[in-house]
Amino acid sequence: MSYLIKPAGYKALLNLPQTEMGIKKIKDFFQQNLSSELRLRRVTAPLFVLKGMGINDDLNGTERAVTFPIKDLGDAKAEIVHSLAKWKRLTLADYQIEEGYGIYTDMNAIRSDEELGNLHSLYVDQWDWELVMSKEQRNVAFLQEIVRRIYAAMVRTEYLVYEMFPQIKPVLPKEIHFIHSEELRLKYPTFTAKEREDAIAKEYGAVFIIGIGAPLGDGKRHDGRAPDYDDWSTVAENGQVGLNGDLLVWDAVLNRSLELSSMGIRVDKEALLRQLAACQAEDRKQLYFHQRLLNGELPQSIGGGIGQSRLCMFYLRKGHIGEIQSSIWPEEMRREARAAGMYLI
């Protein structure tokens, strides 16, 4: 079911031409900073991949990909990408990217199973990035180092927005706060996972929740993750489970947390086999991507996605993602959003 949050007293701080100018400046500036921070080179990304090769991402493990037949390939099926986590790792190998360097893409996707609303659209645009690392860097300390670099680029970008539009005051804290999903559960034992995210993001302004995908102490997962890209099952050097996480900020316009990035150290052979077994998905071992990983043909890597429209929405203090990007929305949502001051493109 679609949803609509109507911020009380909402009024856009920028008109449409200013918004479009802001989007362009934010995207150009942030991707240059991201590239510099992580030593990434830009590569061209696919919009679709062949079905049945295990290259497309299953996200939470349940979303259906948009598919279509290709006449010239005997009606073989192609899938619109969800994201490029596995494709990027293949590309690192094929481009022979050296350790300490990586790639980023301007990724566009269609997620037809999304629940449409202020933060969710059928159309997804994000910077997908992937970095070659060493086996010795498979630890929480390295994960946190990369998160801090990305966050530094976010803080600099927010100041750029302030220079362009002085009415938009910077709100991001200087440092990002880290917490494990099990620690978060214990901190707010009566809250749902979403309520816990809202509470911790409001308290700190910006937070990275580590360990997304494995069952917590109460037997429930903080959130779902597919078994074949992030490593959410390895016991880290601090005794906690998981080498991945989500980056959230506090969105004062919507009065809730806003996830801007999902990322993590990727599965090695052992983690892949363990997670496929845990998710009863061992049949995937025969797929193209999984075979290359199991055969030792893919590098150790860390990677993630950073939502472009969500980032712009946050920086420009917009109440609905449809004020940033053009997509399809229920007509009733368009009418109600307009009445609440949110003009959907």
262 is catalytic: yes
State how far the Cα of 116 lies from the Cα of 144, in Å rounded to an integer. Answer: 32
Question: Per the residue annotation, which of 35, 58, 83, 111 is the catalytic one?
Answer: 111
259 is catalytic: yes
State how far the Cα of 279 lies from the Cα of 327, in Å rounded to an integer. Answer: 33
State how far the Cα of 15 lies from the Cα of 58, in Å rounded to an integer. Answer: 37
- Asked whether 131 and 147 are in contact (CB, 8 A), the reply is no
Question: Per the residue annotation, which of 31, 35, 181, 262 is the catalytic one?
Answer: 262
Q: Which residue has the tokens 């992937």?
A: 130
User: Which spans in the chain are helix H?
Assistant: 16-38, 85-94, 140-164, 181-187, 193-204, 269-278, 288-294, 308-315, 331-339
Question: Per the residue annotation, which of 83, 121, 126, 181 is the catalytic one?
Answer: 126
Q: CB neighbours (10 Å) of residue 134?
A: 11
Can you tell me whether residue 26 is helix, strand or coil? Answer: helix
State how far the Cα of 38 lies from the Cα of 282, in Å rounded to an integer. Answer: 33
297 is catalytic: no
Question: Per the residue annotation, which of 31, 57, 197, 230 is the catalytic one?
Answer: 57
Q: What are 210's strand-pairing partners?
A: 180, 245
Question: Per the residue annotation, which of 37, 106, 183, 259 is the catalytic one?
Answer: 259
Question: Per the residue annotation, which of 130, 246, 268, 323 is the catalytic one?
Answer: 246
Q: Which residues are catalytic?
A: 57, 111, 126, 246, 259, 262
